[in-house]
A and B are shown apart, each in its own frame.
Chain A
C-alpha cells in the first residue's frame, strides 16, 4: 500500500481560501468515505481537523471543510489566518483494518 499523494506545499494570503488535495486509489480514498485530516505545528502532535470526509470535531473552526471526488479528497481552509500555517496530513481507510497517510503538505500563510 502506497502513501496518499499530497502537494508538498501550498500558500495563500490572509483572508484567502486554499485547498489541499489528497489523491489515493479506488482501494482507499475512492472506496470509503473515511478520510481524515490532521494539522501539525512544528514540534507538536497532529491535531484532528476533519473526519469521515467532511465532519468537524467539536472546537475546530468552520473555516475548515472537507470533500471528496472520486479518488481525491480535499481540505479547504477559508479566511486564511496566520495560525493556520502548519503541515497538513490526510489519512484514509484502505480496507482490512489498514489506514494510510499522505505525505503531508506545508501550508505557508504569506
Chain B
C-alpha cells in the first residue's frame, strides 16, 4: 500500500520561499510510470493543481504558478519536493502531495494527509 507524507514548516513569512517535502513509502518513486504531484486547497475553497514531476525529473506546472514553482525529486530518499517562491497570504493553504498513475490517465489515486502552510509575518 503506497503512502505519502508531507513535511515542512507550517509558517512562512511573506516574500520568502515555501518548501515542502513528500516522502513516499510502500513503493519506489523511480519504479516508473507514475507522476508525483502537488495540489493545494485554500481554506474553505476548492483544489488547485500545482504541478507534477516524473522520476526522471521532467516537470509540468500550472501556468498560473509556473514562474514561482519548482518541483524536484530525490530518488535516493524516495522523496519529491515543492518550492514556491515570493509567497503572499494568498498562498496560505493545505498542501497535498499525490500520485498520478501515469499512462495518460491524469487522475490522483493516492494522497498524503495534507499539511497546512500559513503565510504570515
Q: Interface residues, chain A, CB within 8 Å of chain B?
A: 1, 3, 32, 34, 36, 38, 44-48, 51-52, 57, 89, 91-93, 96-104
Q: Which chain B residues lie closer than 8 Å to A47 at the CB level?
A: 111
- Given A97-B60, A98-B63, also A48-B109 (CB < 8 A): yes
Tell which of B62, B64, B108 touches A46, judged by Cβ atoms closer than 8 Å.
B108
- Majority-rule SS of B interface residues: loop
Contact indicator B105/A52 (Cβ below 8 Å) = yes
Q: Interface residues, chain B, CB within 8 Å of chain A?
A: 45-49, 52, 60, 62-64, 96, 104-109, 111-114
Find the B residue at minimum CB distance from A89.
B47
- Given A3-B46, A101-B49, also A46-B105 (CB < 8 A): no
Q: Give 5 pairs: A residue, B residue, CB < 8 Å, sorted on A.
A: A48-B108, A52-B107, A96-B60, A98-B60, A103-B45
What's the Cα separation between A6 and B47 when bound, in Å? 13
Q: Which chain B residues lie closer than 8 Å to A32 at the CB level?
A: 106
Q: Which chain A residues lie closer than 8 Å to B45 at the CB level?
A: 103-104
Chain B nearest CB, measured from A59 CB (Å) = 11
Contact indicator A36/B63 (Cβ below 8 Å) = no
